[in-house]
Structure 1
Amino acid sequence: MHGILYYRHSAFKSDAPAKYKILQRDIRRYSKSRIMTKVSDPIRSNWFIYLIVLFAFILRAWNLTSQSLWLDELHNMIEADPAISWGQLFSYLKCCDQHPPLYFIIERLAFTIFSHTEGVARSISVIAGTISVWCMWLLGREVFSKQLGYIAAILTCVNYYNIFYSQEARGYIFAFLFATLSFLYFIKLIRSPVRRNVILYAVFTLLLLYSHYYSLFAVASQGLLALLFIFLEEKRTEKTRLFKAFLFSGIIILVGYAPWVPFLLEMSRIKSFWIGNVSHDFIIAFFRNYFGDAETLIPVLTLLLIVYIVHISLGSKEAGAPRNIKNNPLQFSFIVILGWVFITYLIPYLRSMLVVPILYPRYTIVVLPAILLALALGTDSFKAPAIKYSIVILIVALSFIDLAVAKKYYTAAHKSQFREMTAFVVRENKDNYPVVNQLTSWHQSYYLKKFGSKAKLMARDKEALVDSIVAGIAPQWALNGFWIVGAHGEQPISEERLTRLDKEYMLLKQEKFFDAWAQLFVSRKKLSANNIIINYTDFPTGEGTVLNDQKAIAIWTGAIYTKPIHLEKRTYKLTIIAMGTSCKDEFPHLNIYNSNKKIGDFYAKDQFANKEFTFENVNDSTILKIEMDNDLMQEGAGDRNAFIQRIMLEKQ
Structure 2
Amino acid sequence: MRHLKFTPSWLRFLIIFLLAMGILFRFSNLDSKVYSHDETYASLRISGYRINQAEQQLFNNRVISGESFAQFQGANPKKSLNDTIMSLAKEDSQHPPLYYVIARFWMQMFGNSVTAIRSLSACISLLVFPCVYWLCRELFNVPLSVPGVAIALMSISPIHLVYAQEAQEYILWLVTILLSSASLLQAMRLESQHKDELVKKRQRPDLFAIWSIYAVTLAISLYTFLWSGFVAAAHGIYVMITAKFKLTETVRTYLLASLVGFLAFIPWITVVVGNFFQFLISADKTTTQSSLTPIFPFLLMQLSRIFFDIDLSSDNPLHYLITPIFLILIGSSIYFICQTTNYKVWLFIIILIVVPALPLILPSLIAGGIRSSAEPYLIPSYLGIEVAVAYLLATQLYNQSVSRRSIWQIIMSLVIICGLISSKVSSQAETWWNKGMSYDNPQVAQIINQTTRPLLISDALGNNYGNVFSLSYLLKPEVQFLLVNNQKIPKIPDGFADVFLFNPSDNWREKIEKKYKLKTDSVYSDKYYSVWKLAKFPNLRRRNNISINNKLPSSL
| TM-score in terms of structure 1 length | 0.61
On the 8 A contact 1:53/1:130 being kept in 2, the answer is no
Q: 1:311 aligns with which of 323, 333, 336?
A: 336
Q: 2:160 aligns with which of 159, 162, 165?
A: 162
Task: State which drifts further: 278-287 or 148-157.
Answer: 278-287
Match of 1:200 in 2: 213
Please state if 1:212 is matched with 2:225: yes
Q: 1:264 aligns with which of 248, 265, 272?
A: 272
Q: 1:128 aligns with which of 116, 124, 133?
A: 124
Residue identity matched to 2:537:
S
Q: 1:342 aligns with which of 349, 354, 372?
A: 354
CA shift at 1:229, angstroms?
A: 2.2
On the 8 A contact 1:423/1:451 being kept in 2, the answer is no
| Distance verdict in 2 for CA 1:229–1:133, change over 3 Å | same
Match of 1:141 in 2: 137
CA shift at 1:128, angstroms?
A: 1.9
Q: 2:537 aligns with which of 523, 526, 536?
A: 523
On the 8 A contact 1:301/1:375 being kept in 2, the answer is no
Match of 1:411 in 2: 429
CA shift at 1:80, angstroms?
A: 0.5
Q: 1:397 aligns with which of 408, 417, 433?
A: 417
Match of 1:597 in 2: none
Distance 2:321 2:456 in 1: 49
Residue 64 of structure 1: SS of its match in structure 2? coil
Distance 2:512 2:555 in 1: 32
**Per-residue CA distance 1:397-440 (angstroms, 9 max, x = gap):** 123344546xx651353343658867986997869x67334542
**Per-residue CA distance 1:115-153 (angstroms, 9 max, x = gap):** 111111111111122321342233223321221112211
Match of 2:114 in 1: 118
Report which of the two has the higher share of strand.
Answer: 1
**Per-residue CA distance 1:188-244 (angstroms, 9 max, x = gap):** 1211141232122222222221221111111111011112223379xx9xx42x234
Distance 1:261 1:205 in 2: 14
Please state if 1:568 is matched with 2:551: yes
Residue 436 of structure 1: SS of its match in structure 2? strand
CA shift at 1:391, angstroms?
A: 2.2
Distance 1:267 1:205 in 2: 23
CA shift at 1:253, angstroms?
A: 0.4
CA shift at 1:380, angstroms?
A: 3.0
Match of 1:436 in 2: 458
Match of 1:366 in 2: 380
| Distance verdict in 2 for CA 1:443–1:275, change over 3 Å | closer
Distance 1:338 1:213 in 2: 21
Distance 1:519 1:340 in 2: 50
CA shift at 1:496, angstroms?
A: 9.0
Residue identity matched to 2:303:
F
Distance 2:537 2:333 in 1: 68
Match of 2:65 in 1: none
Residue 348 of structure 2: SS of its match in structure 1? helix
Distance 2:349 2:339 in 1: 18
| Distance verdict in 2 for CA 1:125–1:188, change over 3 Å | same
On the 8 A contact 1:340/1:367 being kept in 2, the answer is yes
Q: 1:249 aligns with which of 222, 247, 257?
A: 257
Residue identity matched to 1:364:
L
Q: 2:85 aligns with which of 72, 80, 90?
A: 90
Distance 1:198 1:448 in 2: 47
| Distance verdict in 2 for CA 1:421–1:108, change over 3 Å | farther
On the 8 A contact 2:494/2:540 being kept in 1, the answer is no
Residue 458 of structure 2: SS of its match in structure 1? strand
Please state if 1:70 is matched with 2:90: no
CA shift at 1:298, angstroms?
A: 3.1
Distance 2:408 2:538 in 1: 71
Distance 1:567 1:312 in 2: 83
Residue identity matched to 2:468:
Q
Distance 1:361 1:217 in 2: 15
| Distance verdict in 2 for CA 1:365–1:495, change over 3 Å | same
Match of 2:62 in 1: none
Residue identity matched to 1:436:
S
Residue identity matched to 1:568:
K
On the 8 A contact 2:521/2:532 being kept in 1, the answer is no
Distance 2:116 2:509 in 1: 44
| Distance verdict in 2 for CA 1:358–1:264, change over 3 Å | farther
On the 8 A contact 1:480/1:526 being kept in 2, the answer is yes
| Distance verdict in 2 for CA 1:380–1:307, change over 3 Å | farther
Residue identity matched to 2:138:
E
Distance 1:161 1:283 in 2: 13
| TM-score in terms of structure 2 length | 0.70
Distance 2:186 2:554 in 1: 86
Distance 1:389 1:302 in 2: 19
Identify unmatched segments of 5+ residues in structure 1. 1-43, 316-328, 470-475, 534-564, 570-618, 623-652
Residue 344 of structure 1: SS of its match in structure 2? coil
CA RMSD in angstroms comes to 4.4
Match of 1:333 in 2: 345
Residue identity matched to 1:93:
L
Residue 80 of structure 1: SS of its match in structure 2? helix
Match of 1:186 in 2: 184
Match of 2:303 in 1: 287
Residue 66 of structure 1: SS of its match in structure 2? coil
CA shift at 1:109, angstroms?
A: 0.9
Report the number of matched residues. Answer: 466
Please state if 1:109 is matched with 2:105: yes
Distance 2:450 2:360 in 1: 46
Distance 1:216 1:357 in 2: 23
Match of 2:500 in 1: 484
Distance 2:251 2:512 in 1: 73
CA shift at 1:511, angstroms?
A: 8.7
Distance 1:448 1:308 in 2: 45
Report which of the two has the higher share of helix.
Answer: 2
Task: State which drifts further: 433-442 or 78-87.
Answer: 433-442
Match of 2:234 in 1: 221
| Distance verdict in 2 for CA 1:524–1:495, change over 3 Å | same
Residue identity matched to 2:381:
V
Distance 2:419 2:517 in 1: 54
On the 8 A contact 1:380/1:388 being kept in 2, the answer is no
Q: 1:172 aligns with which of 170, 173, 176?
A: 170
Task: State which drifts further: 197-206 or 243-252.
Answer: 243-252
On the 8 A contact 2:81/2:104 being kept in 1, the answer is no
On the 8 A contact 1:141/1:147 being kept in 2, the answer is no
Match of 2:6 in 1: none
On the 8 A contact 2:430/2:442 being kept in 1, the answer is no
On the 8 A contact 2:304/2:323 being kept in 1, the answer is yes
Match of 1:472 in 2: none
On the 8 A contact 1:206/1:257 being kept in 2, the answer is yes
Residue identity matched to 1:177:
V
On the 8 A contact 1:76/1:170 being kept in 2, the answer is yes
Residue 243 of structure 1: SS of its match in structure 2? helix
